[in-house]
Amino acid sequence: MKGRILLVEDDETFRSLLQTILEDAGYEVLTAEDGLKGVRLIRSESLDLVVTDLKMPGKNGLELFRETRLDPNPPLFIFITAFGRVDEAVGAMKEGAVDFLTKPLENPDTLLVLVNRAIEEQQRTREYLTLKEAESAGLPPQELIFAGEAMQALRKLVQDVASTTANVLIYGESGTGKELVARTIHLLSPRKRAGFVPLNCAAIPENLLESELFGHEKGAFTGAVQARQGKFELAKGGTIFLDEIGEMPPPLQAKLLRVLQERVFERVGGSKEIRADVRVIAATNRNLQDEVAKRQFREDLFYRLNVFPLQLPPLRERSDAVALLTEYFLHRFSRQIGKKLTGVEPEALAAMKAYPWPGNIRELQNVMERGVILAKDCITRDNLPDQMLRGKVQETGESKEVLKSVEKELIVKALQKHGGNRRLAASELGVSRRTLQYKLKEFGLLDDN
């Protein structure tokens, strides 16, 4: 679809004519017979454009337009008016409306020219603002997020799904950049002017996760001294990103399913239904279909989330991206530390390309930060961790020991960075606290941390 349009017109025959013209041109069209229904659809749907009659019984088109001006991401407006009311339409354009057309409609192209121009201009504006917002948010450009041949098909899928309202489920190993892809989808979507609210389901204790998601009323539980909004309220009009969705306990899975089905929720300790005008993007490093088969994840929730699955390839399948990513991290950490380095020597880069990166891009980032700290003029092989200098690791007993060594080093570094706080360390590593606890035991680190 080229875009989602709401058509508000009380004349059924004329409304049907306009709907046919727009749908034949490839647009998805929602319709309303009056302003009251129109404002309900604007509040509940993600729209690119509203085409509305100026004069209607009840709530007229101008009132409908003015009600949306304070919304975080209001749709564009084109007005339909009779010849005698052109002055009102011109006045609405001074307030921010895109354009107007007069009825009766003598030529369908008149409508399509206005609509196509509005949608195309909106897309250009979004692309420009997306670049600026990505820069201000500290996100790398898309060329880096989707670096490597293995990511090109994924990039096209991201661009295709971004403009829709579909739920997205991102699969990928820890450290592959699932949240970066989720943020990119948000910044390319009509919801970009509203918030992107992330929540790692594995990083919040089970007894607090419901409150984090849906908020709570004063006195709902011990310590609830005042009412508090949850992530779904904070993300109103925008996107909520639920990382490690496979770690969500079954009771909360049922409540999330209700939100996805009915688009409403209640705060903990409350009875008032709150509308969830939120797009949901979830991510996991698990095979959720296996979790469904084990009855550890609800099948109905899985199908609700898995509307548009995206699979992120691991860095070992993107060796052609290592040079570009390395250069990006080199400049980033050099600026932060205040060093002027000439680059990465070819032998060091060859070792990095041959390495299987069990920690993916997160591990590459850590290696580059360490390398920049140690380097004098450029990053050399001597500035790389020992396990990277053994060449490409094959699936042997020795390689498994090397991978375990890398894993242990990453865990120790994360714990040191967060003063031994396992919840924060697990969040940075992209694993659940249970997984971290298991690894600490496996590596004999429990007594030390």
Note the pLDDT of residue 126.
59
DSSP category for residue 339? -
Instruction: DSSP for 245-298, please give it.
Output: GGGS-HHHHHHHHHHHHHSEE--BT----EE---EEEEEESS-HHHHHHTTSS-
Lowest mean pLDDT among 184-193, 293-302, 365-374: 184-193
Residue 222 vs residue 168, higher pLDDT = 168
Pairing between strand 264-265 and 274-275? antiparallel
Note the pLDDT of residue 394.
42
pTM over 0.75, yes/no: no
**With 70 as the cut, is the pLDDT of residue 52 above it?**
yes
Mean residue pLDDT of the chain comes to 85
For the chain, domains (ranges, CATH) are: 4-127 (3.40.50.2300), 155-313 (3.40.50.300), 317-442 (1.10.8.60)
Note the pLDDT of residue 4.
86
Note the pLDDT of residue 399.
45
Note the pLDDT of residue 99.
86
**With 50 as the cut, is the pLDDT of residue 278 above it?**
yes
Note the pLDDT of residue 81.
84
